[in-house]
Structure 1
Amino acid sequence: MKVLDKKDLVDGKALEHTRTERHILEAVQHPFIVSLRYAFQTEEKFYMVMEFLSGGELFYHLKVASRFKEDRSRFYASEITLAIGHLHGLGIVYRDLKAENVLLDAEGHVKLTDFGLAKKAILDNKSASTFCGTPEYIAPEILCNSGHGRAADWWSLGTLLYEMLCGLPPFYHKNVNIMYDRILNAKLTFPAFLTPVARDLLSKLLVRNPEKRLGAGQRDYEEIIEHQFFASVNWTSMLQKKIRPPFVPQVKGGDDVGNFDVVFTCEQITTTV
């Protein structure tokens, strides 16, 4: 349950983001996107109740494993690509793809969550202008404030895929300003263990010019799923969740929270109605 204090939403932008998130969650039905079960409000707060995904955050599992093998990374990237492609088909840019916003269900399939930064009615690569996102995953055009759109999500996909395969995002630095400089200027390098086909896909997703990035054209996600990296994927079966996930989270029951970091599960629940 996401609880938002109305006092914190008096700023118009925050209120707009909250409305957008609620409308998107309500409108979008997709196997790899979290579903909204209830939305209601009291005098002081807004509440959004989502389905509970007991598999935990992809971020948590990546931290445990350090990095994923190529097959596991390909599986997650495939489901994420289908989810983002669906959003783009509805004119929605996600703008906050990161390992923390990808949850796993009990079987090990992904679900995108947190649509607080999503924007509607964007059908190109430059109509959105708000500076937003998570530093490690921000596309160069957002940093440059030159207008952004769908292609920014594909940059973030490249960043996340690189992180899954290598253990860290490609331009990571603990100093955010240095990291921003690297995102804009540093040469993209790869560890020796990465396969040539994985390097090729990452090189095409992490292109600084959004118009030349893979997925930037009218065909959007179809450009990406045709890449050789995904040659073994049956996309119809993938969308129907007929492909067995390479990793199944250990889930003891419907209310098991063992796949979430204790930093969250040990927090005191302070909200009451």
Structure 2
Amino acid sequence: MSFGCFTVKNGKFYNNLSDVLDKYEIGQLLRAKEFCEVCVARDRLTNKMYICKKFQKRDGRHVRKAAKNEIGILKMVSHPNVLQLIEAFETRKEYIIIQELATGGDLFDWILDQGSYTEKDTSKVIRQVLEAVVYLHSLGIVHRNLKLENLMYYNQRNGSKVVMGDFYLSRLENGPITEPCGTPEYLAPEVVARHRYGRPVDCWAVGVIMYILLSGNPPFFDDLDEDEENERHNRRIFRKILAGDYEYDSPYWDNISNAAKELVGLLMETDQDERIVAKDALAHSWISGNSALGRNLREGVCAQIEKNFAKAKWKVTVNRGSCGQSPRHRHTHTHTYTHIHTYTRTHTYTHIHSYTYNHTHTHTHSYNHTYTYTYTHTHTHTHTHTY
């Protein structure tokens, strides 16, 4: 894919890992996603910072497929609201994607940090998302995993653009798609029902995103008991999705315009053949006109966001999904951990793990490093293991 390749006996060309490390300094782990690890990377020549995604081939065929899929899609796209591919590498052990770095934080962080948050603000966000979706659909690309976690602000300046990422489940609509995939709470009815589907699933997901941004609540929600299996919980969610069972509940929607509710309804039409297309949604008066209200919604929306999204209740992405099918055993646990990364002038790297189980485990190790940075990160993460 890049330079410095060597050939193995099957005639396939691979990069040496040194090709990557000679050009980029790979920094600390930012987060572990379902298919890959996400790190920061510094261009040694320009000092510019990027995102580095590492997909380990040993993790299975689905990971290898996701990596190749994301690389292929990213090579096709160039749009202001899509994080751009810088370059990609394939070694014998992993796929490595170097991509633009968005530093503005996710949409939830932005809302919580604002002194005022209105329908007009949400309209600007949804407009940018729809512009990216219209562009993707014009290329025949279905994203298939649009969700708030895949949207972020490009930088921390006022008026920063919103950018879209994570294309590992995206694909070209060059025929009927029937493979269930996505994140349960964002799945369109046709995906849940295992019917053929295509670009309309992205419009449904935009409707879910818009619903959450306006109210702080997910449209399809069901409390997960601590000892309840995810699959049982998801089945209840899926029944609501299939029925289009959502409401504009009081008091959360009392101050929301009728135009906003109308657009949500058009985007979340259960019949995919009747659902509004992205181009027409972009022309809706709530997006292109003056229908979006300027009333401050921050207090109510923030309270609901903190209530509904602070506990890692939303499940990991479903790939080749389990809509209505149960694995033999699924085990879920949640833990909180803290990473403390300290890079000093003596080039010593200290890594301290503290896990909130019944015991505390700490280890420290050192190796040479030339990057000066201090980063502390604490988060709650839900693991789902299928046996």
- Give me the TM-score of the superposition, normalised by structure 2: 0.56
CA-based RMSD: 2.6
Q: Which has the higher helix share?
A: 1
**Which is higher, the Rg of structure 1 or of structure 2?**
2
What is the rounded CA distance, in whole Å, between the counterparts of 1:227 and 1:157 in structure 2?
Answer: 14
The corresponding residue for 1:195 is 257
Contact 1:92 1:119 in 2 (8 A): yes
What is the rounded CA distance, in whole Å, between the counterparts of 1:157 and 1:88 in structure 2?
Answer: 14
Q: CA deviation at 1:63?
A: 5.8
Q: Which of 142, 147, 172 is residue 120 of structure 1 equivalent to?
A: 172
Instruction: Name the SS for the 2:171 alignment partner.
Output: coil
The corresponding residue for 2:285 is 228
1:125-179 alpha-carbon deviations (Å, 9 max, x no partner): xx11111001111000000001110000000000000000010221122332221
The corresponding residue for 2:67 is 18
The corresponding residue for 2:102 is 53
Contact 1:129 1:147 in 2 (8 A): yes
Aligned length: 232
Contact 1:93 1:122 in 2 (8 A): no
The corresponding residue for 1:36 is 85
Are 2:194 and 1:145 equivalent residues in the alignment?
yes
What is the rounded CA distance, in whole Å, between the counterparts of 1:122 and 1:192 in structure 2?
Answer: 43
What is the rounded CA distance, in whole Å, between the counterparts of 2:265 and 2:125 in structure 1?
Answer: 19
What is the rounded CA distance, in whole Å, between the counterparts of 1:139 and 1:264 in structure 2?
Answer: 34
What is the rounded CA distance, in whole Å, between the counterparts of 1:138 and 1:161 in structure 2?
Answer: 14
* Identical positions, percent: 27
Q: Structure 2: 5+ residue runs without aligned partners?
A: 1-51, 224-232, 291-335, 342-348, 352-387
Q: How does 1:24-173 map to 2 (within 5 A)?
A: 24-62=73-111, 68-106=117-155, 107=157, 108-122=160-174, 127-173=176-222
- Give me the TM-score of the superposition, normalised by structure 1: 0.78
Contact 1:68 1:164 in 2 (8 A): no
What is the rounded CA distance, in whole Å, between the counterparts of 2:111 and 2:235 in structure 1?
Answer: 25
Amino acid corresponding to residue 139 of structure 1 in structure 2: A
Q: In the superposition, relative to structure 1, how do residues 185 and 119 fare at CA in structure 2: closer, same or farther (>3 Å)?
A: same
Q: Which has the higher strand share?
A: 2
Q: CA deviation at 1:231?
A: 3.1
Contact 2:177 2:198 in 1 (8 A): yes
Q: CA deviation at 1:230?
A: 1.6
Q: In the superposition, relative to structure 1, how do residues 122 and 189 fare at CA in structure 2: closer, same or farther (>3 Å)?
A: farther
Contact 2:57 2:63 in 1 (8 A): no
What is the rounded CA distance, in whole Å, between the counterparts of 1:51 and 1:39 in structure 2?
Answer: 12
